[in-house]
Chain A
C-alpha cells in the first residue's frame, strides 16, 4: 500500500493564481481531511469528508474548496492564492467516521505564495 500520497511536495504561486493540491489514499478509508500547519498554530482543519460525496468545513475553510467524488481522492483547491495561505498542507485519512482510529498522514505540501 502506498498509504496517503500528496502532490506536489513543493509549490510556489503568485498572488491570485489558483491551483489544486492532490491527495489520494489506497486504504479504502472513508474519512479524509485537510490541515494547514503554521508555526505556533498547530494543525488547523480546513475541510473534511466522511465519505464520497460528503464534505464539510473545518476551522479555517475560507479560500479553499474541496470535493470528494471517489473514496480514494480528496483534492484541495485554492481559488485565488494569497500570501496568508503560505503554509504546509497535510492530507490525512482514517477509517469509518463512526469508529475511532488514528489518522494516516501524507508527507505534506509546502506552499509559498508570493
Chain B
C-alpha cells in the first residue's frame, strides 16, 4: 500500500546552516513522483521540489535539494544556508502514476530556524 512517513515532528537549525528533513515512502508502483511542500504559518501550501522515480539525478531547486535513495525508499529534503523565512511546516508527498493515482502526504516536520 502507498505510504509516506516523516519521523521528525520538529527540527531546529541555526541560521545559515544546512538541514535535512527525512521522508521515507512505500509503494508497489514502479512509476511515481515524490514532492516536498512548505506550509508557512499563513497556511498556504507552497510547492518546493519534485523527483520522479526514474530520474537518475537528484532534483535541485535553488537552496533545496532532494536526496533520493531509491533502494532505501527515502526522499530527504536538504535545505542549504537556512534563512529565518524557512521556518514552516514541511510535507513530503507521493503520487503513483498508475494504479489509484492517489496523491498522499506525510504528517509533516515543523522546522524552526534560529537567529
Enumerate chain A interface residues (CB-CB to B < 8 A): 31, 33, 35, 40-45, 48, 50, 56, 58-59, 88, 90, 92, 94, 97-105, 107-108
Contacts and interface: CB of A to CB of B under 8 A. Distances in A.
B97 A59 contact: no
A22 to B, nearest CB: 18
Contact of B101 (A43, A90, A97, A104): A97
Contacts of A108: 43-44
Interface of A is mostly: strand
B43 A100 contact: no
Contacts of B44: 105, 107-108
A100 B105 contact: no
B95 interface: yes
B107 interface: yes
Contacts of B106: 42
A100 B101 contact: no
* Residue of B9, B35, B93, B95 with highest tally of chain A CB at under 10 A: B95
Contacts of B97: 98-100
Contacts, number: 62
Nearest to B46: A105
Interface of B: 6, 9, 32-33, 35, 43-45, 47, 50, 52, 91, 93, 95, 97-98, 100-108
B45 A48 contact: no
A100 B33 contact: yes
Contacts of A101: 33, 50
A64 B95 CA distance: 22
Nearest to B95: A100
Nearest to A110: B43
B113 to A, nearest CB: 21
A41 B108 CA distance: 8
Contact of B50 (A88, A92, A102): A102
A42 B95 contact: no
Q: Across the A-B interface, give the 5 residue pairs with the lowest CB-CB distance, nearest first.
A: A100-B33, A42-B107, A105-B45, A43-B105, A102-B47
B45 A45 contact: no
A16 to B, nearest CB: 28
8 contacts: A31-B101, A42-B106, A42-B108, A43-B91, A97-B101, A98-B101, A100-B95, A101-B33
